[in-house]
Amino acid sequence: MACASFVKLQALSSSWIGEQSFNQRPGSACHSPTRRVSVRAGSYTDELVKTAKSIASPGRGILAIDESNATCGKRLASIGLDNTELNRQAYRQLLLTTPGLGEYISGAILFEETLYQSTTDGKKFVACLRDENIVPGIKVDKGLVPLPGSNNESWCQGLDGLASRSAEYYKQGARFAKWRTVVSIPCGPSALAVKEAAWGLARYASISQDNGLVPIVEPEILLDGDHPIERTLEVAERVWAEVFYYLAENNVTFEGILLKPSMVTPGAEHKEKASPDTIAKYTLRMLQRRVPPAVPGIMFLSGGQSEAEATLNLNAMNQSPNPWHVSFSYARALQNTVLKTWQGLPENIEAAQKALLVRAMANSLAQLGRYSADGESEESKKGMFVKGYTY
């Protein structure tokens, strides 16, 4: 399957530079015998490229605060708060009004509720972000559901009505989108699940670009399992080959997308942990084999790594030049210490915002390859992997 996918990918490599070749079927009178067809240049193309470059700017990455209301409730419960709209608003206000955040953060992924919310003083959260030169983004998928015919795997829903929703999100101020699907190594993964993930991501990406949103392409390869790092590399290469094949099939403009891959690591339950240098070696190998240089930014997810691990691994990947901006799109790895510092108390807001800046600055330095773990707290070194974690 992996070889077949790579052959398909190579066959479509011309699309990476803006063109595809199609031969006329015998007997067809609709077209000339041979025709060169360019990847579409829609009305938003220039804006998409500009937005993607802005997000993929040196020393900056993405703050992911797009947890669903249910998942946000889990985070709030960890500090003894009820899952109410007012509490969700208070926490997200703390994050989005942090002074100086734009020095280290270029984009923020929001949940739909947050996109339409304001601060307690009546200022739109979108405006708060723009004041810090941070691009507002929006989670557009509708979550995972069981995939019939698979090995107990899932697929991501949300394509129905996506075009109209995306147009509304654009009007509200969003300029990029996120769609997360997952691949499970312990479950196979099955060919069906890989194809479904790749096709869904490609359709979403095409629809997003048609409506002015830069799509973040995120097939998360879950940390669950006891497999070695070599197995993760094998699966990651297979998944990304399929993803880029279908992105090309759907005429997606590569210069106007961002990727959100998992780092190539051993399974969380594997007996041997990998060093940051080893993780960087395997992850960059996968990217070099599968991702065209036209893609402006690789914004890694943390996937249950500790705050310090996620930063160290990113730093290791930036010790030499890469053809893409290699950065971060972290949720828990930016928020964990913030939540525990805040505790839902107004008098702790300033300290919690300082904790966010500390983590954001650490990852900014890692994006530049200049991070040192000296002085990291013990709290930042605690892993956050949860087996079978659901969002």
Q: Please, which residues have CB within 8 angstroms of residue 221's CB and are 6 or more apart in sequence?
A: 182, 183, 185, 232, 235, 236, 239, 261, 262
DSSP-derived 3-state class of residue 328 = strand
Of 94, 97, 92, 133, nearest in space to 116 by CA: 92
pLDDT given for residue 39 in this prediction:
53
Residue 239 to residue 197: CA distance in whole angstroms:
8
For all residues of the chain together, what is the average pLDDT? Answer: 89
Choice among 196, 218, 307, 309 that is catalytic: 218
Q: Which of 101-110, 310-319, 374-383 has the lowest mean pLDDT?
A: 374-383
Q: Which element (helix H / strand E) includes 362? A: helix 349-367
- The 10s digit of each residue's pLDDT in 264-286 is 999 988 999 999 999 999 999 99
Of 67, 66, 12, 56, nearest in space to 37 by CA: 12
173: left (phi > 0), else alpha (psi -120 to 50), else beta?
left
Angle, alpha carbons 142-150-248 (nearest 5°): 65
Backbone angles phi, psi at 13, to 5 degrees: -60, -25
Q: In which band, very low, low, confident or very high, does the pLDDT at 380 lie, cut at 50, 70 and 90?
A: low
260 catalytic, yes or no? yes
Which pTM does this prediction carry?
0.86
Answer whether the bond into residue 189 is a cis peptide, omega within 30°. Answer: yes
Q: Please, which residues have CB within 8 angstroms of residue 131's CB and are 6 or more apart in sequence?
A: none
What letter would DSSP give residue 149?
T
Mean pLDDT, to the nearest integer, of 36-63? 86
Say if residues 107 and 135 touch (Cβ distance below 8 Å).
yes
Q: Which of 32-41, 86-95, 192-201, 348-357 has the lowest mean pLDDT?
A: 32-41
pLDDT given for residue 41 in this prediction:
56
- Greater model confidence, 10 or 45: 45
Alpha carbon distance, N-terminus to C-terminus of the chain: 29
Backbone angles phi, psi at 262, to 5 degrees: -80, 150
Tokens of 232: 């993760």
Say if residues 66 and 92 touch (Cβ distance below 8 Å).
no
Q: What is the DSSP string of 133-144?
A: T-EEEEE----E
- Greater model confidence, 116 or 33: 116
Q: In which band, very low, low, confident or very high, does the pLDDT at 223 lie, cut at 50, 70 and 90?
A: confident
Of 68, 124, 64, nearest in space to 93 by CA: 124
Q: What is the DSSP string of 20-86?
A: EEEEPPTT--SS-SEEEEEPP--TTHHHHHHHHHHHT-TT-EEEEE---HHHHHHHHHTTT----HH
Residue 160 to residue 315: CA distance in whole angstroms:
39
Choice among 153, 237, 260, 309 that is catalytic: 260
134 DSSP β-pair partners: none
